[in-house]
A and B are shown apart, each in its own frame.
Chain A
């Protein structure tokens, strides 16, 4: 979508929220579109809805290919017929987050004056994203969710849903996530944002109006972030010091090493499908996320007496949102008296393991959802 940062194709299903959306920053968005996709059938009692929340660079196409980018569904191992999030049993919905760039209102969308928002778009939070999802779900005529599930930033939304609307969520499955961004998380995303803003084609955020794209900055942002999504051992296993299409080093700054070539590919393929300003806004929302801060730093108080049934997963080699971050959430939930399960999966695949083949994780998640579906009478 090089010529159109905010795709408005017929292939996207979009619902306009009936009411303006009030944001944490104090501003109000008068018009909000929510782009979404769904799979499976809504049951008569409307009790079988699973909301899948995507990560930073994800979209609503968790269970079917993205018609705009042509990319395959991003969560094929988890969402589908007979999978853990079983589309034969559940009505599965995924939305593009507020501030995103796959059809939901974001910085690339047109402001009321007809020009793209750019950096005039208000700074949003994870709580705002969930407020938008709640308004969207309500507009669909759905009162409650059987499950809110997501990895990484999707896990933050799963936690935020449970905090905002405990009576509307039966189960919450936050995966490889954190209840607040660490200094290290903020630091890595700041590198990305600075790379974007240092690109002259960023044009102080108004590149769309200028007909430009800060592709180099966005690619570097993606490269830096991608390093945190894979483990050191996975990089070693995949590439080690292997050379790319050559016998020896070239004594130049070409991509001599396979890992360089891989990162360049990750960066370059990203700029075709993602809006740079969206990257700024969504990473900022993650940086601002700190669930405990609204209860004087006591995360347990956020969930005291919650009826929501939680199941958390982490992956041993994840250094983006490490097991300890997920164990901290588990500890707070246990202290709050919540029904909570937590599995740390032994894996060398790093943060991205939540998207990849991990049999114990898939089996446990299937078991949790299926046992709870029975409890809910689904």
Chain B
């Protein structure tokens, strides 16, 4: 790859939660930027799933193992406990079956890290009340966001799947806050994006 790729703050924060040498699956890995970072900085064995063959091709060229497929239907390719950590970065809102996807991730790996845009953020709540419109770039255009969810929704979903919350962190303006075990209400109120580290109970 030409030049040194710019590292996203949330990628860096996620990478910091992964044990060196772990086996990591990134679902919706895109061009493989996060996997590349994990491989370089944490020496992990990586795998990716990406729906776009073009992006998967870019990830291949980085020397990453990537399987082209749809998380909604193709996660069954991966065996039980095939990985130590499964990551779903900025992708769960694009899933048609988020509960199924999360259940599959917890089958594939004991640790699951999910990051997503938080619609519980107070400005988004206020914006809906004041304008009567869904927050964001306009729902009709935003075809990449199918499911607006809040941090509270996600934790409830995780609970229902017997996943405990190891830690959660807010992301605001590209800056990742500290990972904490508690403080969900405040997180749900103030975080633009949320990173959740879940574990099979």
Which A residues have a C-beta under 8 Å from some C-beta of B? 300, 309, 311, 327, 330-331, 334-335, 337, 339-346, 360, 363-364, 366-368, 370-372, 374-375
Interface contact A367-B60, CB-CB below 8 Å: yes
Tell whether, in the assembled complex, residue B77 and residue A367 are in contact, meaning their CB atoms are under 8 Å apart.
no
The answer, yes or no, to whether B54 is at the interface (CB within 8 Å) is yes
The 6 closest A-B pairs by CB, nearest first: A367-B61, A371-B63, A364-B57, A335-B79, A343-B68, A331-B77
B65 at the interface (CB under 8 A from A): yes
Q: How far is the CA of A346 from the CA of B51 in the complex (A)?
A: 12
- In chain B, what residue has the closest Cβ to A362? B57
> Number of B residues whose C-beta is below 8 Å from A?
22
Smallest CB gap from B68: residue in A: A343
Chain A residues whose C-beta falls within 8 Å of the C-beta of B58 in the assembled complex: 367
| Residues of chain A within 8 A of B61, CB atoms compared | 363-364, 366-368, 370-371
- Sample 21 A-B pairs with CB under 8 A, ordered by A number: A330-B67, A334-B77, A337-B79, A341-B65, A341-B67, A342-B66, A342-B67, A343-B56, A344-B69, A360-B57, A363-B61, A364-B56, A364-B57, A364-B61, A367-B61, A367-B62, A370-B61, A371-B60, A371-B61, A372-B63, A374-B63
Q: List, in ascending order, chain A residues with CB within 8 A of B65's CB.
A: 309, 339-341
Beyond A342-B69, A366-B61, A367-B58: 11 further Cβ-contacts under 8 Å? A334-B77, A341-B60, A343-B56, A363-B57, A364-B57, A367-B60, A367-B61, A367-B62, A368-B61, A370-B61, A371-B61
Q: Is the CB of A335 within 8 A of B53?
A: no
B77 engages A343 (CB within 8 Å): no
Q: Report chain B residues within 8 Å CB of A366.
A: 61
- Smallest distance from the beta carbon of B74 to chain A beta carbons, Å? 8
Which residues on B sit within 8 Å (CB–CB) of A340? 65, 67
Contact call A342/B68, Cβ cutoff below 8 A = yes
Q: How far is the CA of A219 from the CA of B76 in the complex (A)?
A: 43
Query: Please, which residue of chain B has its CB at the minimum distance from the CB of A331?
Result: B77
Among B47, B60, B69, B78, contact of A364 (Cβ-Cβ < 8 Å): B60
Chain B hits for A344, CB < 8 A = 53, 68-69
Q: Given the interface contacts A367-B61, A368-B60, does A360 sit within 8 Å of B79 by beta carbon?
A: no
- Cβ of A68 to closest chain B Cβ, rounded Å: 36
Kindly list chain B residues whose C-beta atoms are within 8 Å of the C-beta of A337: 79, 82
Once bound together, how far apart are the Cα atoms of A27 and B47, in whole Å?
A: 44
Q: What residues make up the interface of B, taking CB atoms closer than 8 Å to A?
A: 47, 53-54, 56-58, 60-69, 74, 76-79, 82
CB distance from A157 to the nearest CB of B (A): 22
Partner of A343, one of B47, B57, B76: B57
Q: Which residue of A lies closest to B62 (CB)?
A: A371
Contact A311 B53 (CB under 8 A): no
In contact, B76 and A331 (Cβ under 8 angstroms): yes
What residues on B are CB-neighbors of A335 within 8 Å?
78-79, 82
B53 touches A334 (CB 8 A): no
Looking at the assembled complex, report how far the CB atom of A318 sits from the nearest CB atom of chain B, in whole angstroms: 14
Chain A residues, Cβ within 8 Å of B76: 331
Contact B57 A334 (CB under 8 A): no
| Closest CB in chain A relative to B23 CB, distance in Å | 9
Nearest-neighbour CB distance to chain A for B177, whole angstroms, equals 35
- In the assembled complex, the CB of B31 is this many whole angstroms from the nearest CB of chain A, namely 11
Is the pair A334, B62 in contact by a Cβ cutoff of 8 Å? no
Q: How far is the CA of A346 from the CA of B56 in the complex (A)?
A: 13
Give Cα A327–Cα B74 distance, bound, in whole angstroms: 9
Instruction: Flag if A360 contacts B77 (CB, 8 Å).
Output: no
Q: A363 vs B57: C-alpha distance in the bound complex, in angstroms? A: 7
Cα-based distance from A335 to B76 in the complex (angstroms): 10
Contacting residues, chain B, for A342 (C-beta < 8 A): 66-69
The reply to whether B77 and A330 form a contact with Cβ atoms under 8 Å apart is yes
Question: A137 to nearest B CB, angstroms?
Answer: 26
Residues of A within 8 A of B62 (CB): 367, 371
A378 to chain B, nearest CB (A): 13
A371 CA / B56 CA spacing, docked (Å): 14
Residue of B nearest to A366 (CB): B61
Chain B proximity of A316: nearest CB distance (Å):
9
Residue on A with the closest CB to B108?
A334
B201 → chain A closest CB, angstroms: 25
**Quick one: given A331-B76, A335-B82, A337-B82, are A345 and B53 in contact (CB under 8 Å)?**
yes
How far does the Cβ of B9 sit from chain A's closest Cβ, in whole Å?
27
